[in-house]
Amino acid sequence: MHVRLMIAAVLTLLSSMVPAFAEDPVADAQAIISEQIAAMKAQDAGKAYSFASPGIRGLFPDEKRFFEMVQKNYDAIFHAGNYAFGRSKLVGGGEMVLQEVMITGPGGKDWTAIYEMRLMDDGSYKVNGVRMLKNTASTGI
């Protein structure tokens, strides 16, 4: 009986030491992208900034500077109309997800955004960069 309890305790301890990995990297990355786009549309700088990776936070050390950068350089995302997820690509078994997002921006102009999503130690994904392509159709990543 004591042996069973000891084995159960050891297994419980070992299972808590396993690093956090996303169960469905693409779905998790897409959820974060959707939440960040919603935060942009709602003018919620703090929430939008919370989805930025440590590398992006290093470049823009506060939410105000980050929000100003997004407004200036990523107007299609900042004022996104409709958007849809395109193709995705896992790198390193999910350590990075490249996610294509087709966006209708201001004036009805179409854009493709390629999001680089990085897996954090806690198992969540953060936005580590976005590359914008004007008036493009999905061609893959």
Classify residue 8: in a domain, yes or no.
no
* 95 within some domain: yes
First CA to last CA across the chain, in angstroms? 55
Q: Enumerate the β-bridge partners of residue 127.
A: 52, 117
Domain CATH number, residue 112? 3.10.450.50
Position 16 in a domain: no
Report which residue type is found at 93: G
Which value, in Å, is the radius of gyration of the alpha carbons in the chain? 19
Q: Is residue 61 part of a domain?
A: yes
In a domain, residue 140? The reply is no
Q: Looking at the predicted structure, is the pLDDT value of residue 37 above 90? A: yes
- What's the structural domain count of the chain? 1
Residues 6+ apart with CB under 8 A from 115: 29, 33, 97, 98, 99, 100, 101, 127, 129, 130
Total number of residues shown for the chain: 141
pTM of structure: 0.80
**How would you classify residue 68: left for phi > 0, otherwise alpha for psi between -120 and 50, otherwise beta?**
alpha
Residue 69 within a domain? yes
User: pLDDT value at position 23?
Assistant: 83
| Residue 80 belongs to a domain | yes
Residue 25 CA to residue 90 CA, distance in Å, equals 8
Quick one: pLDDT band at residue 7, thresholds 50, 70, 90?
low
- Domain membership of residue 11 (yes or no) is no
Structural domain boundaries enclosing 74: 22-134
Structure confidence by residue, pLDDT tens digits, 43-80? 999 999 999 999 999 999 999 999 999 999 999 998 99
Of 127, 97, 99, give the one whose Cα is nearest residue 113. 99
How far apart CA 141 and CA 138 sit, in angstroms, is 9
